[in-house]
Amino acid sequence: MKILPKKTISHLTPYKANPLSSQCRAKLDANESPYDLPAEIKRRVFNELKRLSFNRYPDPDALKLRAVFSKKIKLPLKWITAGNGSDELILYLTLAFAKDKVLFFSPTFAMYRVIGISCGAKAMNIPLKTGFRLPLEHILKQKDASIIFISSPNNPTGNCFRKDDILNIIKKTNAMVVLDEAYAEFCKDSFLRYLKRFKNLVILRTFSKAFGLAGMRVGFMISHPYIIREVNKVRLPYNLGLFSQVAGRVALEKSHFLTRSLKTIISERERVFENLCRLNGICPYPSQANFILFKTCACSDTLYAYLTKNGVLVRNLNGYGGLKNCLRVTIGTKKENDLFLERLKSYEKKKR
């Protein structure tokens, strides 16, 4: 007897990290921070871990971690739950609330579609308008959507959506609106202040980007206590490991280190953007995240292969979400960014 999967997931493909990561001098493909936790913060994490028992389960409610985060965002503890990255929290939200249709916009984060389909919901994709704007009128016609996912700043386009457009969606729909703020620290804007006003608003945050904790997988969901209670019904016990809880809490308590790294990343983002604007055959899109999407007049597959061969790993997005001949580069250290720009220039010279 052959064991068959559900028909709804038979056409899905597994998410795979790029196997070339270890072969490139500049790894600029995954929107990670180029800066590790400072040594003194790591030492504090390790010192705390030494005092803990590894043979015992971690706190199932991540109370200490959530308490520090609660203080930081100035919202009560009951408005927050923690997860193994925001991906896990997207899964729980979909399991708990996706009755029929989940809505998202392309191009955007791929896991909204994958998780929606995996949970048995109809995943409806609406293309963004010219200039990567939200298709507001089309959205408001979708009366049967259970969840609307909005990533702002959006991955991979890098732009923040207009505040009034997002507010219109929250006000005029019966759906839960999940605002994924994975890159909020890079644009210094957030909808946290609207949470108490709108009971259908959910905000997601992650420590995988600005905080440089991608290896620890720490994410937060912030919403009305009713939504948090329902999500906790499907949340797996002990979902956030001991190491992640300690590292996340210490990083939050000592978050002053973020000021310098954020300032450097934003400054480098503007410098890289300006340099890309000067290159023939390259059209970069303005970004408010820690990456830049750019279009090339040449075949992006060829450029991607050239960059990879020459030690620079970016993300090839040719054909992704309606994009054509586009690549996405994560902002790295100055040295990594210089290498990327140097390789791009050498490719342009090679074509002449």
| 183, 315: one domain | no
To the nearest whole percent, how much of the chain has pLDDT over 70?
Answer: 97
| 330, 268: one domain | yes
| 91, 61: one domain | yes
| 138, 202: one domain | yes
Are 152 and 166 within 8 A, CB to CB? yes
Are 310 and 2 within 8 A, CB to CB? no
In a domain, 131, yes or no: yes
| 73, 218: one domain | yes
Point out the least confidently predicted range of 13-22, 57-66, 265-274: 13-22
What is the average per-residue pLDDT within 134-153?
92
Q: Which of 253, 269, 287 is the last residue of a domain?
A: 253
Read off the pLDDT band of 4 (50, 70, 90).
confident
Q: Which of 212, 237, 253 is the last residue of a domain?
A: 253
In a domain, 6, yes or no: no
The pLDDT, as a whole number, for residue 70 is 97
Which CATH number covers residue 265?
3.90.1150.10
Quick check: 133 pLDDT over 80? yes
* 347 φ/ψ angles, rounded to the nearest 5 degrees: -65, -40
Nearest to 204 by CA among 262, 127, 152: 152
Distance CA 268, CA 234 (A): 41
The 3-class secondary structure across 69-106, one letter per residue, is HHHHHCCCHHHEEEECHHHHHHHHHHHHHCCCEEEEEE
| 122, 174: one domain | yes
Mean pLDDT of the chain: 93
* Residues of the domain holding 85: 39-253
In a domain, 326, yes or no: yes
Read off the pLDDT band of 20 (50, 70, 90).
low
In a domain, 15, yes or no: no
Which CATH number covers residue 242?
3.40.640.10
- Strand order from edge to edge, sheet including 291-296: 282-284, 291-296, 326-330, 315-316
| 52, 166: one domain | yes
Read off the pLDDT band of 19 (50, 70, 90).
low
* Overall number of domains in the chain: 2
What is the average per-residue pLDDT within 149-168?
96
| 306, 234: one domain | no
